[in-house]
């Protein structure tokens, strides 16, 4: 009986470690309710555009942005974001109750939300630059690139 109990402890520790590893490697996701959002202000830093931020209030565009952000698989960073240079999209999300939340989409590698840095895959992060942002840019004709 003692031998069985002694063997159970290392097995339980291995199982616990495996569960912790699987949960931590599966990633975190943002949990934004697009129906609760009044508007989203998007700024690019450093500022590459001469008109400043755009304000998105159209429900379909809010849904497009929140679906994208909610779909990102966020992981603990393997790299230090402070060691990177690049541009960032800063999303200021205004809820219908007046509260705000800021999310920083830094380059095609990092995301800062809930006061924490996360790492995102290039494939996921590049979707904003390649698919979503050009559609927003076209919708807001006043928002154009400075040559």
Tens digit of each residue's pLDDT, the chain (147 residues): 566 555 556 555 555 444 444 444 457 888 888 889 999 999 888 866 555 688 899 898 999 999 999 999 999 998 888 888 888 889 999 999 999 999 999 988 999 998 899 999 999 988 888 888 777 776 765 554 433
- Structure tokens of 21? 């590893």
Q: What pLDDT sits at residue 145?
A: 41
CB neighbour class for 80 (10 Å; exposed up to 12, middle 13-18, buried from 19): exposed
The model's pTM: 0.73
Residue 73 near residue 124, CB atoms below 8 Å:
yes
Rama region for 33: left / alpha / beta (φ>0; ψ in -120 to 50; rest)? beta
| Dihedral (Cα; 129, 63, 66, 36), 10-degree rounding | 150
Residues in the chain, total: 147
* SS3 assignment, position 19: helix
- Cis peptide leading into 46, omega within 30 of 0? yes
- pLDDT for res 45: 84
Q: What is the DSSP string of 12-32?
A: HHHHHHHHHHHHHHS-B----
Q: Can you tell me the distance from the alpha carbon of 24 to that of 31, in angstroms, rounded to the nearest whole number?
A: 17
Q: State the sign of the Cα–Cα–Cα–Cα dihedral 135, 136, 142, 147.
A: negative
Return the pLDDT at 93: 95
Quote the pLDDT of residue 101. 94
Contact 89, 69 (CB under 8 A): no
91 near 40, Cβ under 8 Å? yes
């Amino acid at each position: 009986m003692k031998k069985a109990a002694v063997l159970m402890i290392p097995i339980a520790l291995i199982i616990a470690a495996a569960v912790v590893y699987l949960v931590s490697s599966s990633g975190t996701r943002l949990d934004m309710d697009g129906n609760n959002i009044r508007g989203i202000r998007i700024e690019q830093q450093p500022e590459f555009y001469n008109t400043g931020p755009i304000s998105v209030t159209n429900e379909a565009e809010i849904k497009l942005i929140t679906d994208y952000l909610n779909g990102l698989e966020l992981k603990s960073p393997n790299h230090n974001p402070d060691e990177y240079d690049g541009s960032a999209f800063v999303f200021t999300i205004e809820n219908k109750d007046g509260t705000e939340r800021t999310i920083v989409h830094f380059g095609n590698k990092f995301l800062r939300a809930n006061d924490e840095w996360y790492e995102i895959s290039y494939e996921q992060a590049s979707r904003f630059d390649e698919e979503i942002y050009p559609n927003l840019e076209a919708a807001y004709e006043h928002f154009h690139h400075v040559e």
